[in-house]
Amino acid sequence: MNALELRALHTVEDLGAAARLFAGIWGTDADHAPVSAELMRALSHSGNYVTGAYESGRLAGASVGFFGAPVGTTLHSHITGAGAGRGIGLALKLHQREWALARGLKRITWTYDPLVRRNAYFNLVKLGARPEEYLTSFYGAMHDAINGGDESDRVLAAWDLAARPPGTDGTAPVPPPVPADADRGVLDRDGRPVLGPARSDTVLVDLPDDIEALRRTDPAAARAWRLAVRDTLGGLLAEGARVVGLHERRSYVVRRPARP
């Protein structure tokens, strides 16, 4: 990959390019980009995080965040879009981390679709963020190319900025231990979710191989995955359990708090 230049976006021209980039990634027309140039202009002018990643002078990624609650501690990262497989998304998130630390912030939050395996791996393993809350149909039905009309369930992920991201000190991320008596709350069986018990202190929640492809080829299976993960992962988080990592790039490892 060519060297990246990361810089704040301010001008109408640069923000228009970012809106078109987002529209291309999410598969919408330019007039219905996930974030408009006008909104980014307002966020940028008021001191929020609006940054582009340039590769050989071409905009290849962008990220938008704004200050959130609790006031003075949190940046909420609303959207980050970049070409896959070239490290641009990671570069943007690490830049966002340094930006937030320079302003005395303690954490960054964002939402993501818990069914998208590559995003779960990126967020939990590459960055070290942790899901805190399950949000059912957070944005309503979304009809872009990525969400395909599915209900927009999200988890709220939180990134503790006091901890170094895994792997940045030269060591490999340590996977969470999975005890032998862990329950399989959701099990992938031939591409379909099978609900199992979720009573142990540790519960595994499988994810589909490619939910975006499944939405196009087998909407009924995609819907089954949505409901299975919503019921199991959402229920566990609501009870106070916490996701502590990802097992074999496939399963959330969910742990209940220690019992008195």
User: CATH number for the domain including 10?
Assistant: 3.40.630.30
Q: How far is CA 206 from the centre of its chain?
A: 17
Q: What is the pLDDT of residue 160?
A: 97
Convert the pLDDT of each residue in 189-230 to its tens digit.
999 999 999 999 999 999 999 999 999 999 999 999 999 999
Q: Which domain holds residue 239?
A: 183-255
Closest CA to 210 of 85, 117, 84, 82: 117
- Count the Cβ atoms, other than its own, within 10 Å of residue 19: 22
Mean pLDDT, all residues of the chain: 93
Confidence of residue 1 (pLDDT cuts 50, 70, 90): low
Which residue among 126, 160, 194 closes a domain? 160
What is the average pLDDT across 26-34?
A: 89
Least trusted range by pLDDT, from 21-30, 143-152, 154-163, 181-190:
143-152
Q: What is the pLDDT of residue 114?
A: 97
Say if 63 falls within a structural domain.
yes
The reply to whether 117 and 203 lie within a common domain is no
The reply to whether 148 and 218 lie within a common domain is no
The reply to whether 16 and 62 lie within a common domain is yes
Confidence of residue 148 (pLDDT cuts 50, 70, 90): low
Say if 171 falls within a structural domain.
no
Q: Could you give the strand order of the β-sheet that contains 251-255, starting from the edge strand earlier in sequence?
A: 192-195, 183-189, 202-206, 251-255, 242-247
What is the average pLDDT across 66-75?
A: 95
The reply to whether 214 and 95 lie within a common domain is no
Task: Say if residue 80's pLDDT is above 80.
Answer: yes
The reply to whether 21 and 131 lie within a common domain is yes
Q: How many domains in the chain?
A: 2
Q: How far is CA 238 from the centre of its chain?
A: 19
Q: What is the pLDDT of residue 135?
A: 98
Convert the pLDDT of each residue in 95-120 to its tens digit.
999 999 999 999 999 999 999 999 99
The reply to whether 153 and 239 lie within a common domain is no
In terms of phi and psi (left: phi > 0; alpha: psi -120 to 50; beta: otherwise), the region of 56 is left
Q: Could you give the strand order of the β-sheet that contains 58-68, starting from the edge strand earlier in sequence?
A: 4-8, 49-55, 58-68, 74-82, 107-112, 154-160, 130-135
Task: Say if residue 260's pLDDT is above 70.
Answer: no
Task: Say if residue 171's pLDDT is above 90.
Answer: no
Place of tokens 């919503």: 230
The reply to whether 114 and 27 lie within a common domain is yes
Convert the pLDDT of each residue in 126-146 to its tens digit.
999 999 999 999 988 766 656
